[in-house]
Amino acid sequence: MVDHGDEDCIRCQRSFAEMCSEMVIRDFMTKDLVTISENDSIDQILETFDKYHFHTYPVVNEDNVLVGTIDRDIILKILLVHRAPRIEHTHLNAVVFQGDTAKAIMLSHPVSISPDEHLCDAVDMMLKHKIDRFCIVDDGKLVGIICKPDIIKEVYKLRGSD
């Protein structure tokens, strides 16, 4: 490891922060998405989880508008409803556990950001609110997704360019 003087480290951090503040999400978001249709059946959703191995999938309507997300926790709860903690035995969860389409079981109101957000702003929001990924929405339409590994990879590349 190279030992920079304190002044050099501060200069490196400033230049990194400046680069980070100039980069926008659109430049490195994942655009080739695997989505779930709001009308997909539970079997279709399970097939998607089996075929791809992501933690969360965006749910879209026929116009590609983001309407929700489905994650592994929801799938586990549906598959193993009898094992759900007693505190989760609510009327709302009973309805979700009986759902037969993505629309019925999804988490509505997913966290989303604009593709024009700066990298540093997205990181700040992720850390502050303990968010692992953002759906990227432009004019209501799902255009991408970004998760912590994507950001870590981008930050690592930035640091290497100093």
Alpha-helix residue ranges (DSSP H) falling in the chain? 6-22, 42-51, 72-79, 91-97, 102-105, 119-129, 148-160
**Count of all residues that appear for the chain in the document:** 162
Identify the H or E element spanning 133. Answer: strand 133-138
pLDDT tens figures, 19-73: 777 889 999 899 999 999 999 999 999 999 999 989 999 999 999 999 999 999 8
Indicate the Cα dihedral angle 129, 120, 114, 64, nearest 10°. Answer: -70
SS3 119: helix
CATH number corresponding to 6-160: 3.10.580.10
What pLDDT does 151 receive?
85
pLDDT interval class at 138 (50, 70, 90): very high
Task: Check residue 35 and give its pLDDT.
Answer: 97
pTM attached to this predicted model: 0.78
**Residue scoring higher pLDDT (30 or 9):** 30
Question: Do the bridges between strand 112-113 and strand 56-60 make them parallel or antiparallel, or are there none, so unpaired?
Answer: unpaired
